[in-house]
Chain A
Amino acid sequence: MADNVRPRVKAPRKAEPGEAVTIKTLISHPMESGQRKDSDGNPIPRSIIHRFTCEFNGEMVVDVAMEPAISTNPYFEFEAVIPEAGDLKFTWYDDDGDVYEETKTVAMA
């Protein structure tokens, strides 16, 4: 378990039916690439978030397969269509099996 993993999501609280909204996500995570060495010269094992998904009411918006070349504290910005009121569900999958989730409710304007 990576320490202090905290997802942050910026999404609108209200939207018109069918509106395209911009969503920004950030999660605090070291994203240890497996390429670095510690002060004794031993390689530090890889520990990253390898997948991120965003769904709205169970329908996929975006599904990202991530490699170690994604920066520390992975940031994503993308656009989603909001057809009706419902929940945006964000999921991050860690190498160590942990799953971090965040939900944002969007109401109709």
Chain B
Amino acid sequence: MTLTRRSVMVMGAGAVVAFGLPMRASAAGEDKIAEFTGGADMAEGGITLSAPEIAENGNTVPIEVSAPGAEAILVLAMGNPTPGVAEFRFGPLAASQTASTRIRLAGTQDVVAIAKMKDGSFARASSNVKVTIGGCGG
């Protein structure tokens, strides 16, 4: 097959379609992030997200977030039907910017935590959790 200009264009369009689909699945999550950060850059580090590597039951997955100096932490499950999980806002009497809870995960996916620091900067951490049994019913 000779590589004409036309065939290159067709292949390019096909690639956009092929790669565009999986991105759309997490677009709602990206929108949530943009809404929280206002499009600002996010640093790696400064925030810790603890989640199990393998969760047998997606109905209750223990997680812990910790970001010293944060005023708010947003937790997202990028592979859930709705990506939002929780937003923690720490008041003046919070001894540490740490919180634990239990969340639902529909399947194997990345859990993302974003901290908004007091100086207005943002930090991001993510953790991949393998889920044996999904937790959103159906």
Decide: B93 and A76 in contact? CB cutoff 8 A. no
Residues of B within 8 A of A62 (CB): 88-91, 94, 99
Residues of A within 8 A of B82 (CB): 67-69
Main secondary structure of the interface of B (DSSP, over half): strand
Given the complex of chains A and B, what is the CA–CA distance between A42 and B25 in angstroms? 24
Residues of B within 8 A of A71 (CB): 59-61, 101-104, 135
B77, B87, B92, B136: the one contacting A60 at CB < 8 Å is: B92
Which residues of B50-98 have CB atoms within 8 Å of chain A's CB atoms? Answer: 59-61, 77, 80-82, 84-96, 98
Which residues of A1-47 have CB atoms within 8 Å of chain B's CB atoms? Answer: 20-21, 33, 35-37
Given the complex of chains A and B, what is the CA–CA distance between A75 and B136 in angstroms? 18
Residues of B within 8 A of A21 (CB): 95
Residues of B within 8 A of A56 (CB): 93
Main secondary structure of the interface of A (DSSP, over half): strand
Residues of A within 8 A of B87 (CB): 64-65
Given the complex of chains A and B, what is the CA–CA distance between A69 and B136 in angstroms? 8
B20 interfacial contact with A, CB 8 Å: no
Residues of B within 8 A of A74 (CB): 101-102
Given the complex of chains A and B, what is the CA–CA distance between A55 and B92 in angstroms? 10
Residues of B within 8 A of A59 (CB): 91-93
Inter-chain pairs besides A60-B93, A70-B86, A71-B103, 10 sampled, C-beta below 8 Å: A33-B137, A59-B93, A60-B92, A63-B88, A64-B86, A69-B105, A71-B104, A77-B100, A81-B94, A81-B95
Instruction: Using CB atoms and an 8 Å cutoff, list the residues of chain A in contact with chain B.
Output: 20-21, 33, 35-37, 55-56, 59-72, 74-81, 83
